[in-house]
Amino acid sequence: MLPGPLSGPVAERSDAARNRARLLAAAQELIAECGVDALTMDGLAERAGVGKGTVFRRFGSRTGLMMTLLSESEAAFQARFMFGPPPLGPGAPGLARLIAFGEARIAYIMEHGDLVRASESTYPSRYEVPAALLWQRHVEFLLAQEGMDADPPVMAMALIAALEPERLLHAVQVQGIAPERLTGTWRELVTRVVGGP
Amino acid sequence: MLPGPLSGPVAERSDAARNRARLLAAAQELIAECGVDALTMDGLAERAGVGKGTVFRRFGSRTGLMMTLLSESEAAFQARFMFGPPPLGPGAPGLARLIAFGEARIAYIMEHGDLVRASESTYPSRYEVPAALLWQRHVEFLLAQEGMDADPPVMAMALIAALEPERLLHAVQVQGIAPERLTGTWRELVTRVVGGP
DNA sequence: GGACTAAACGGACTACGGTCCGATTAATAT
DNA sequence: ATATTAATCGGACCGTAGTCCGTTTAGTCC
C-alpha cells in the first residue's frame, strides 16, 4: 500500500509523471519562444523527447493541453468569484458582483491572451466545459438575485457572450481598443439590464 | 470585344464558369445528402469531377465555399435592414429597428442552421469580413440614434456578441431552447440598454 | 486555320490534429 | 530475484485543409 500521495482513485506511474512534467515544461518553453499559435503537437512531442501518442494520452487534444496550462489560474479565478471577498465574492449586492465578475474576467483574458483563445474547445463542446457551465450558473444566479423577471438563463447567455475571449482579444489586439473601454461598457451593460424597466 | 456580359473587370472563362456551376451544384447535393459537416473539399472535388486545386482557386477555403452558398441569402438580409420597409429598414425608431434586426438575424440563423456556422471564418478574420463590419456599423448607428451616450462601438460589439450563430444554434439544437425565448431576450436586452439610466 | 498567351486545371505534396496497436516497463505479488 | 499484469509508450498511420507547379486550354490576333 501507500504507493505515494494517496490522491485520486489510482496513483500515477512514475514514468507517466516524469513525462507529464517534461511535456508541460516543454510547452511553456515553446510558447515563450514562439507564441501559442506556433505550438504544434508534433513539435511539442519532439521537444519533450516523448512520442506523439504520449502527448495525446496525457492531454486528449491540443485544447486539453492549453486548458491544463491554464488550470491553476482558472481554478484561482473560480475560487475568487465563488468564495473570495466581495464585491467579486459573496456578500456584495448582485449588481456589484456582476460588474466585478466581468471586470475580473476581462482582466483574466487580457492577462493570459492567446492562451485563453487556444484553450477554447471547438463546437459543440465549447459551451459544455465545466468552467463555462459554472459561469453560466453564476451569472444566472446573480441576475435572479437582482430580480431579473424574464428568462435569466437566456439573458445570462447573452451577457456572457459579451465576454468571449476571441472577440475581446480582437478588440484590444487588432482594433486597438483599450481594455478600460471594455470594462466600462460591461458595467454599463449589466447596470442597464438589471436596473431597467 | 463583348465576350459576354461586360460585368466586372474581366470576363470569366467558359471552363471556369462551367466548373463553378458544377461545384456549387455538387456542394448542394452533398449537403442535402449528408449534411454540412460531412462535406469535405476532396469529396466535393471528386463529386464535381474537377481537381482539388480548382475548388480552392474558386472559393479560397472551405469557409469561402460556405459563404458563397449563403451569399444570396446574406445579400437579401442586408438589403432588408438597409433599404427594406420598417421596422427593419429605415423609417422606424432606432429601438424598433434594433429589435427587428435581432429578430431577423435570429430567424436567418435558425433558417440556415449549420451552414451559417460553417461559413464563419476562423480567427482573426472572423470579425473582419464585410458582413460583420456592416452589422457592427448598423447597430452602432442605431444605438447612436437612440442617444446612447457611452461608447457605441463597444456596446454594439457586446450586443452583436449575443447574436453569434454558434451560441444560438447550440442553445436551440442542443439545449432545446425555443427560438422565441431568444428573440424575447434580445428584445428585453436592447430595450433596457437603450432605455436605461 | 495556326500561333500566342494568360488563365485555369489537376493532382501530388505538405502540415497538422488525432487514432491505433504492438512493444515496453513500472509496480506488485510470490 | 522472478513472474505477472496493467498501464504507458511511441511512432506509423489516417483524414482533411490548404499549397504548388508543370500541363492544358479557352480566347485572341494575325
Mean pLDDT value across residues A139-168: 96
Q: Do B174 and A124 touch (CB under 8 A)?
A: yes
Alpha carbons A178 and A82: distance in angstroms, whole number? 28
User: What are the cell numbers at B125?
Assistant: 478574420
Dihedral Cα B9, B14, B20, B22, nearest 10 deg = 160
**Can you read off the three cell numbers belonging to residue A195?**
436596473
Q: According to the model, what pLDDT value does residue A158 have?
A: 98
In B, what residues contact A, Cβ < 8 A? 117, 123-124, 126-127, 150-151, 153-155, 157-159, 161-162, 164, 166-167, 170-171, 174, 177, 181-182, 184-186, 188-189, 191-193, 195-197
Q: Is A91 helix (H, G, I), strand (E, B) or coil?
A: coil
Q: What is the pLDDT of residue A16?
A: 87
Q: Using CB atoms, pick whichever of A117, A153, A191 lies closest to residue B123.
A: A117
Query: Tell me: the pLDDT tens digits for A75-102?
Result: 999 999 999 999 999 999 999 999 999 9
Q: In degrees rounded to 5, what are phi and psi of residue A90?
A: -65, 150
Which residue from A minimizes the CA distance to B155?
A185
Is residue A3's pLDDT more than 80? no
Average pLDDT, rounded, for chain B:
94
Confidence class of residue A11 from pLDDT cuts 50, 70 and 90? confident
Instruction: For B71-130, write each residue's pLDDT tens digit.
Output: 999 999 999 999 999 999 999 999 999 999 999 999 999 999 999 999 999 998 999 999
Per-residue pLDDT band for A197 (boundaries 50, 70, 90) equals low
A167 touches B127 (CB < 8 A): yes
B141-146 long-range contacts, CB within 8 A, separation 24+: B142/B94, B142/B95, B142/B97, B142/B98, B142/B101, B143/B94, B143/B98, B143/B193, B143/B194, B145/B94, B146/B93, B146/B94, B146/B95, B146/B98, B146/B194
Domains of chain B, CATH where assigned: 1-60 (1.10.10.60), 61-195 (1.10.357)
As a whole number of angstroms, the distance between CA B143 and CA B67 comes to: 28
For the stretch A41-72, pLDDT in tens is 999 999 999 999 999 999 999 999 999 999 99
Q: What is the pLDDT of residue A6?
A: 39
